[in-house]
Structure 1
Amino acid sequence: MKDLKLKLSVLPTEPGCYLMKNKDDEIIYVGKAKNLRNRVRSYFSGAHDEKTMRLVQDIVDFDYVITNSEVESLLLENTLIKKHMPRYNILLKDDKSYPFIKITKEKHPRLIVTRTVKTGTGLYFGPYPNAFSAYETKKLLDRIYPLRKCDTMPDKLCLYYHIGQCLGPCVYNVSVETNKKMISGITRFLNGETKEIVSDLENKMMKASEELEFERAKEYRDLLGHIEQTMMKQNMLTSDMTSRDCFGYAIHKGWMAISVLLIRNGKLIEKKAEMFPINDDIEEEFNRFVLHFYDMNSNLLPKEVHIPREINKSILEEALPVKVHAPHRGSKKEMVDLAKKNAENAVESKFLLIARDEERTIKAVEALGEALNIETPRRIEAFDNSNIQGVDPVSAMVTFIDGKPSKKEYRKYKIKTVEGPDDYRSMAEVVRRRYTRVLRESLPLPDLIIVDGGIGHMNTVRNVLEDELSLDIPIAGLKKDDKHQTAELLYGDSADIVPLDKKSQSFYLLQRIQDEVHRFAISFHRNTRKKTLFQSALDNIEGVGPKRKAQLLKTYGSIKNIKSKTEEDFIQIGIPQNVARNIVKKLTDM
């Protein structure tokens, strides 16, 4: 969860799609966002419904794809849901897709709106995020370019001819050149070359308004609005259905990030990204990555590879069995630019994570050293005791190096020389055992020792270190408040309170250390107590060995349930009568 919080802190504020993953790296939810940072963070704060709470409990990681607009993220979300079928998403069972505007491939072509794409049957434009606007735009184009409207050619002129929206090829001869001219105009319009038509509509709207024809002016205004919405086409999907990969890269502080957008059947199906230190010329590193990418992913080989224009494509053209392009303009260049944008975000996020991590760790340790007026305590060892009224007393030590826990150097101690609940003597025993061994085996000494307690614990540790082992190591104490949370840092012979900002990273580091040593000690004590209870209840009973002990626990589930049974109960599960009598007698005497 700690790594997840760090990752959340460096999310971009741009639109895009996010992919939530579980512990098996399985994508369990796909969503889209106008602002990735705000949306993804919202899952981990505030109240949620039951479904969202279950989702959040399963999230251990996430990935995201930056898009150019919220519209793009909407359509990309649709593509990713259909590809990964995440169990927390509402499945689109009818596989409904977004509409395209199509010019049919016929002698007398038609302009239609369709949700089905069949290659070789015409020219497709889209898909469009707003179906209503797509139909309204088609209506507009019908008024400007009078192509055939009827599905099958009738024997006489229809209404469309009489209102000027069809040239009547069913009766009159409409030349191929005339159709080509109209198709060219529609193509330019749907490819975004709308200035001429928009300008004409604006002039007509102003004229109608000046002539007080407000209904007609409103119609022109609405058509202009529909055109604007329809022109927000999805860059993530292409109408030519060509499978292609678009590469982009970014450089930052000696590192290179490369992002690849995989487009198949006209849809962006996946984003892959990798970051590595630069050891060679930038172009050499880029080419090496691309060749290695296809060597490792031969099943992903597309028909085209698009790369940034500043990369010389000749080497990749010779090495790859596909077409390599370095687009200079248009939607293909936009996709390369988007890949570059994702690469830039990847490398910037990485260094932001490093910076945040340093702020929480190394810089926090440095500030702690300054507050205590000692050298930077790069190695901190912390101790805590745990017992219940002196029963099964244990102690634990955790080690933090450069502000991070070093779990391989954690240590557990069973108290051997202390009877009853004596925290000071327990602490003295553990510190003595720990640093006697450190000196004997020439292990590294800590730069700071932290004890969970006040001046009594600090003096106990100081007496052992200075009087018995002749060690001079700074000792600090951590005092808790009524809510059992870290409240004060104590230091010096008189355990003075160190004035530390409670919102500083140094204070947060102390909280993490105290929480961690307490968790480790409590966990060790619970395990020890379980074993003790298990041993004291069933050990040393004549006739009860490991196998019979396991049989009893498997049958009855717990010591408490075993205590409630009679001799007859034990005999029924195959325990001999004399052994059953011994069990009942021993558990009754406890």
Structure 2
Amino acid sequence: MANMAKVSDKLAILPALPGCYLMKNEAGDIIYVGKAKILKNRVRQYFVGAHDYKTQKLVSNIDDFEYIVTGSEKEALLLEINLIKKHTPPYNIMFMDDKTYPYIKLTKEQAPVLKVVRNTKDKKAEYFGPFPDSGAAWQTMRLLNRLYPLRKCRTLPKKACLYYHLHQCLGPCIQEVDETLYQQMAQQIRKFLKGDVKDILDQLKSEMDQATEELAFEKAQEKLELIQAIEHVTARQQIDFKDRKDRDVFGYYFDKGYISIQGFFLRGGKMLERTLSITPLYEEADEAFTSFIVQYYQQHPYPQELLLPSEYGITQLSEVLEVKILQPLRGDKKKLVDMVQKNAQNAHLQKFELMERKQNEKEQAMRELSHLFQKEIHRIEIFDNSHISGTFNVSGMVVYKDGEPSKQDYRLFKLGQYISDLDSMKEVVYRRYFRLLKEDGRFPDLLIMDGGSLQVSAAKEILDALEIPLTVCGLVKDDHHRTSNLIDSAGNILPIHRDSPLFFLLTRMQEEVHRFAISYHRRVRSKALTKSILDEVDGIGDVRKKEIWKKFKSMKQLKAATIEEIAQVVPQTVAENVYNLLHNPDQSTDSAYDEL
């Protein structure tokens, strides 16, 4: 249960004003953020009366709370969204950006470019989408780049590239291009992406027929392939609305402590369907729905219309969102809203059992882990080191909270000179927890070493020296290097059944920390292998470095060059720096040269 002794005095002085409240657990972590029209009434509801299972689970973890008074409900809603983004509380509904769908971006530069992107925050561009899958977006972009000779390069080169010679670019790098040509192409691209492809199809069919008559069969085949590609791309969805407006339609369904939110997206009259979220519910369903939609439009462009169920109150959304909101009562738009509501319900019923089963397995795994160590375990940290024969020595740390990876808490460590695996483990443990001591940071409930008794003993030695009473265990592997059991700091084997939820959780954790550490190792190694001696010279960046290698071709030629010859490419003082580094390394103030 919540710590009533700590919160009772605060409950008595809560103001009857709008604002946000932040629920905290015993460790001081923010586990839930909410908003209220009247803080006094809303916050008290958590600590009186009976609750369903999900809310009771939240309340049982509340140890304290804070609140922030705002000037209006609108301000409270916006503050709530910002606090959720900042703290990512585990009990809040959050729009997860890593699952966003791609858009096609048309830049508004003098020589515009088409790109496939997931970030739509650049206000100086147009966006078309979302697309149902990244393959469809890339296929459409490649098709448009074949149809319209837009610029393909990120920055203008100093000479024409292959696209220019293939007549797929107008060559703004070597010649002036009439802006009206780009404007006309941009307008045709807009029409295409809104589903109006009749003109381009008619033109291509005419060109194909003419090429056939002239016996230019390769050219005719090329036109036919373009026609088929356009028909394939545009046939993915059927046009439901002739006005070709961009519309978003949201609906939701909740039951048994979960909420399912679904959205339909109509772009140019074409409907794209997407299930957005099926999530545990710890608040009123309409409040969760509001929070989700506001978060969504903080990361996506507005449509021309937003359609919502008629029974849903839109006052707060109307004040916050800069979009026309409709709640149709009849007609095709009402059918569309009913459809999204029905889909939300169907998705909920189909996936609820699976979601609940996964949730129960995660909770069972954490209960089993807590039982093994006779303490409540919520936060786990696990380390893994990576190197090649002692070089590029690094370590990675991943964090799990209540059985879920907390990626914002992951950490990377570039370690010192390699002596042994155990010394590397001691170094990373010391650096991590000495820093937490200095900063009064949040310590884990359990530290897991990716190894057996030697690794556990090494970690325990450091923790004892720092006088940190942290529970440590290791992952014991079998002959096939797979997780088999846990070992505690006293050397006792803690058997784990191979079919238990805890076994699968530990296996996922081991795979995740290994992936994280080895990915960092590869980045460090790749960067070192591509490092140039010129990186050590003041005044040389990527552009000047390319110019030097373009002229001298090799280190032998560069070393044979005079200062005057080098100065033909870079300024005189930089040329002197390069010459001195190559010919007088002992006089260099940068010792990195000696290591090379």
TM-score, normalized by length of structure 1? 0.44
Q: Which has the higher Rg, Structure 1 or Structure 2?
A: 1
TM-score, normalized by length of structure 2? 0.44
